[in-house]
Structure 1
Amino acid sequence: MAKTQKDRDQGVAKRRKDAGEVELRHRVRPGILIVMAELMDWGEHTERTECLQTLLTNVHALGRDQAAALFQPPRHEIQLSENVARQLYQEGAQEAGRMDREDLR
């Protein structure tokens, strides 16, 4: 007699449990999906999980120091022009003055 879908699902669930498989889920924004699509294209992967597993394995193979360097988020330097800095200072000073006057009431 053929197995039912329920029987097949239970068998798959048991094999996954016996193998120690764990399902990982997380939500990402569109920018990350674009990066993922590029990585999949570069690595000629057709499945996201395959791409992620390959990335994890290769990053781990780099070793602690080289892998740690990859986990540093890019930092952007913010430079304000003198005009913008002056305007921010003036608005902050005005706001501080307003707060002081309001506190006195």
Structure 2
Amino acid sequence: MAKSNADRSAKAAAKWKERGEVEIRLHCPPGTRQALAELMAWSGIEEQGEAITLMIHHLHGLGPGGALPLLTPPRHEITVSPSVARKLERFHIGRKRRSPEEMFGNDQEDSEVSMLPLASHADRQVLWHR
């Protein structure tokens, strides 16, 4: 007689427990899934678990010096241009000069559009604000 799904699942769970295996689940965006699929195609590996296991072991084999650069996530550097810095500074100075009740939306000027000159140099720029 053929075994039921429950019997097969129980037998597999017993083997995993005996070997000390633990299930690891991975949720990933489409780009990561595509990268894994390409890696699997390049190497001829058909099982995702096998590909991920091999990558982990090979990466671990590189040691800390080789693995850490590959495990460092890319960081985005934010740079503020001089013109944006001037705009932010002017805005900050303007806010500091306001009284506390004006800072909470009771300012008459908040209902009108006005222009503030941003710099005193030759290429003057204008910041529109409400």
Tell me how many residue pairs correspond in the alignment: 104
Task: With the length of structure 1 as denominator, give the TM-score of the two structures.
Answer: 0.75
C-alpha contact 2:59 2:67 (8 A) present in aligned 1: yes
**2:32 — aligned with what?**
32
1:42/1:79 Cα in 2 relative to 1: closer, same or farther (>3 Å)?
farther
Bigger helix fraction: 1
The one-letter amino acid paired with 2:8 is: R
CA RMSD of aligned residues (A): 2.6
**1:51 — aligned with what?**
51
Query: Residues 15-42 of structure 1, C-alpha deviation per residue, up to 9 Å, x if partnerless?
Result: 1111111001132233322332333333
Unaligned runs of 5+ in 1: none
**1:22 — aligned with what?**
22
Q: Choose between structure 1 and 2 for higher RCO, CA contacts under 8 A separated by at least 6 residues.
A: 2
Larger radius of gyration: 2
Instruction: Summarize the alignment of residues 1-105 of structure 1 with structure 2, pairs less than 5 Å apart.
Output: 1-98=1-98, 101-102=100-101
Cα distance between partner residues in 2 of 1:88 and 1:104: 16
Bigger strand fraction: 2
Cα distance between partner residues in 2 of 1:82 and 1:104: 26
Unaligned runs of 5+ in 2: 105-130
- Runs of 4 or more above 4 Å deviation: none
Task: With the length of structure 2 as denominator, give the TM-score of the two structures.
Answer: 0.63
